[in-house]
């Protein structure tokens, strides 16, 4: 009778230790997974309010208060100091706006490409083999959108913006107003 109790006690002890080891291992791997997921999240780096001043080789006339501003958000990975991409709000893609679209449903227009001393360069390869790139001057926050043809290495500037730094809340507030107007206009 006493030997049965020893076997039962040993089995309980073994199960308790196996459960403890499995629990500890699960917590370590779960913590590692969620920590990496947290570090790879995209967070706002800077938000910009930009006024287009140059288009297709021609300076735009000063329109005063009627000037239409463009808003951009540059995001980065939580673990990095370098930008990840340039984002715009959903009202730009009016064909994809539904009743469930939120102002936080940003879409990436240009992924990050390279860094120079005074420039962030975001580059995207289009299906028609034209290189398009967006350059942001880190000193004065001016932006240029340029394209090159497949036959030439030179880039032609299509748009230039003069930008100013705004808060993330200002970015989302402005985009919320534009998204509401778009939904009202298309009766979404």
Q: What mean pLDDT is reported for the chain? A: 78
Distance of CA 150 to the CA centre of its chain: 28
Specify which of 69-73, 78-82, 180-184 reaches the highest per-range mean pLDDT. Answer: 78-82
> What's the alpha-carbon Rg for the chain, to the nearest Å?
26
Q: DSSP letter for 93, please.
A: S
In this model, does residue 155 exceed pLDDT 90? Answer: no
13 or 130: which leads in pLDDT: 13
β-pair partners for 108: 87
Please report the pLDDT score of residue 60 as a whole number. 61
pLDDT tens for residues 22-65? 999 999 999 999 999 999 998 989 888 888 776 665 666 655 54
187 or 73: which leads in pLDDT: 73
Which pTM was predicted? 0.70
Element (H, E) at 38: helix 2-39
Q: Which one, of 73, 75, 71, lies nearest residue 50 by Cα?
A: 71
Domain ranges of the chain: 1-39, 42-185
| Residue 91 burial (10 A CB sphere; 0-12, 13-18, 19+) | buried
pLDDT band at 138 (very low <50, low <70, confident <90, very high): confident
Q: Which one, of 129, 164, 124, 125, lies nearest residue 143 by Cα?
A: 164
d(CA 97, CA 113): 28
pLDDT tens for residues 75-107? 899 988 888 888 877 656 656 666 677 767 776
Please report the pLDDT score of residue 30 as a whole number. 96
pLDDT band at 129 (very low <50, low <70, confident <90, very high): low
């Amino acid at each position: 009778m006493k030997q049965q109790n020893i076997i039962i006690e040993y089995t309980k002890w073994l199960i308790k230790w196996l459960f403890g080891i499995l629990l500890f291992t699960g917590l370590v791997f779960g913590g590692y997974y969620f920590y990496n997921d947290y570090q790879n999240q995209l967070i706002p780096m800077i938000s910009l309010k930009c006024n287009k001043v140059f288009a297709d080789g021609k300076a735009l006339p000063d329109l005063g208060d009627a000037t239409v501003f463009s808003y951009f958000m540059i995001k980065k990975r939580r673990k990095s100091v370098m930008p990840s991409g340039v984002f715009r709000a959903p009202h730009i893609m009016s064909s994809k706006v539904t009743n469930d679209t939120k102002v936080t449903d940003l879409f990436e227009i240009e992924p990050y490409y390279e860094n120079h001393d005074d420039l962030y360069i975001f580059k995207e390869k289009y299906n028609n083999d034209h290189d398009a790139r967006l350059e942001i001057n880190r000193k004065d926050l001016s932006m240029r959108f340029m394209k090159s043809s497949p036959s030439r290495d030179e880039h032609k500037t299509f748009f230039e913006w003069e930008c100013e730094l705004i808060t993330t809340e200002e970015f989302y507030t402005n985009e919320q107003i534009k998204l509401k107007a778009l939904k009202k206009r298309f009766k979404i």
